Amino acid sequence: MSTLQLPGSATANNLPKAIAAAHTFLLKHPDDEMMKKNMAYYKSLPDAEDYIKDLETKSYESLFIRAVRAYNGENWRTSITDMELALPDFFKAFYECLAACEGAREITDFKDFYLSIADHYVEVLECKLQCEGNLTPVIGGYPVEKFVATMYHYLQFAYYKLSDLKNAAPCAVSYLLFDPNDKVMQQNLVYYQYHRDKWGLSDEHFQPRPGEVVEYVDDLLELEETS
């Protein structure tokens, strides 16, 4: 629940934390009227913009944002470096979230033992189903749609711009695991296939990247089928 910060209640010492906390809350709850009023007041203060940051930003989010900025500035190598770090960092957070959902539960009434086990199973499943959404970065008040797929999309183009088709093609195939009907990415693959001899591409370059993405997609599908 949000609490209204009255004008003057934030001292010079805690003002940066108060502004950052309000901003962080609004990223997850953009329609909260009380916190919007708080933020409007804070923004009226001098230098408030310097303190607007997400206190809950995870390392893969920072890496992703940096990678996108480099991408927009056509700094392809920098973008690739940060995006390649963001991917495994996100997968690590995702599997840590799944593991956390398995948390132990104390059963005090053995009369309802089986009912309790069933309830726990449902709770664990519901928790796991929320992991992907809860870990998706919120930028500018909006979650990044198809976050993992989006990272492969950026990587595919950045590698292409560096004429590194041996890395671009597997990224394109990996992206299509999430959105198999994407016409643009399908055309990219056709282009890569057409020039495969020129760039020394083999069949292995037209497979999803090994390990990471295939396992992730399989686990998502398994969760959806179980629910």
Q: Give tens-digit pLDDT for 55-114.
A: 567 899 999 999 999 999 999 999 999 999 999 999 999 998 888 777 645 555 555 655
**Whole-prediction pTM value?**
0.72
Q: At what angle do helices 76-101 and 59-72 cross, to 10 degrees?
A: 160
Structure token pair of residue 59: 């390392």
Q: What pLDDT, on a 0 to 100 scale, did the predictor assign at position 115? A: 58
Mean pLDDT of 151-171: 98
Q: What pLDDT, on a 0 to 100 scale, did the predictor assign at position 169? A: 98
pLDDT at 215 exceeding the cut of 80: yes
Q: What pLDDT, on a 0 to 100 scale, did the predictor assign at position 114? A: 56
Structure token pair of residue 75: 């700094």
CB 142 within 8 A of CB 161: no
Q: Please enumerate in sequence order all residues whose Cβ is within 8 A of that of 129, keeping only pairs 6 or more positions apart, or say none.
A: 223, 224, 227
Cα(145)–Cα(179) distance, rounded to whole angstroms?
Answer: 12
| pLDDT, greater one: 162 or 97 | 162
| pLDDT, greater one: 177 or 115 | 177
One-letter amino acid for residue 174 of the chain = S
Helix-, strand-, coil-residue percentages of the chain, each rounded to 5 = 70, 0, 30
Q: Which DSSP state fits 136?
A: S
